[in-house]
Amino acid sequence: MMKKSILIKLMSLLTVVGLLSCAEEPVDESGLLITGRSQCFMTFFDLLGSDHRTVLVSGQTVIDTTALTVKAVARFGTNMQRVKPYCSVVTDAIVEPNMGVWTDFTEPKQYTVVSGNRKVRKTYTITVTLQK
């Protein structure tokens, strides 16, 4: 009788563990994991030319996470109509719209960093000036 009771308890525990392990983690429309993180900021920004090398002047990029601005300087002669932006963000955050595509940066562009829990959104204005 005692043995049977232990067996039933053990089976119940296993069932609960099994059910929990099958629960699906939430993902967004891109299939990226939605986590509990609410941090939302950009940590690094770069711009590549058609030769896939950086066009930014070293040490001149300033990311202001309070004013939500990025200011950078592109090298003399850069074709600003065809550059490819890249950035790093805090863990689990994403950027909208996607970077990594050829973009016209002759005018300031806006990108939104979205936190890991997808509840905090911060829109950065990125301004790149050209050496003349």
Partner 1 sequence: MKTIGYAIGAVVGSLLLITGCQSDKVTPEGPLRNDLLKKTTGPAVVGDRIEFAYALGTVEGNLQNVRAEATIAGGAGTGFSRFSWFTNRNTGVDQPVQTATDTVTNGALSTARIIDSPTSNKAVTLRYFYYPTADAKGKDVSFRFSGTSSTGQEVSFQSPTYRISNMDMRRSLVLADGAKAYVSIADMAVYTKAEVEQNNLANKIDFVYIYRPTLGTGNFAFGHAIVAPSNPEYLKDVTLPTGLARTRTAIDKRVDVKDAQLRGTSGFDLYIDDIDLQQTTFPSAADYAFGFAADQGAFVKTADGAYNAYVYVNAVNNTARTMTISIKRLKVN
Q: Which is nearer to partner 1, 86 or 102 (CB)?
A: 102
Interface positions, 22-81, toward partner 1 (CB under 8 A): 49-53, 75-77, 79, 81
HEC assignment per residue over the chain: CHHHHHHHHHHHHHHHHHHHHHCCCCECCCCCECCCCCCCCEEEEEEECCCCCECECCCCCEEECCCCEEEEEECCCCCCCCEEEEEEECCCCEEECCCCCCECCCCCEEEEEECCCCCCEEEEEEEEEECC
CA 84, CA 98: separation in Å to the nearest integer? 11
4 is an interface residue for partner 1 by CB under 8 A: no
Q: Which is nearer to partner 1, 82 or 121 (CB)?
A: 82
Interface positions, 91-120, toward partner 1 (CB under 8 A): 102, 104
CB of 39 to partner 1, least distance (A): 35
Per the DSSP assignment, residues forming a β-bridge with 122 are 113
Number of residues this chain uses to bind partner 1 (CB under 8 A) = 15
CB of 90 to partner 1, least distance (A): 31
Q: Which is nearer to partner 1, 24 or 51 (CB)?
A: 51
User: Interface with partner 1 by CB under 8 A: which residues?
Assistant: 49-53, 75-77, 79, 81-82, 102, 104, 131-132
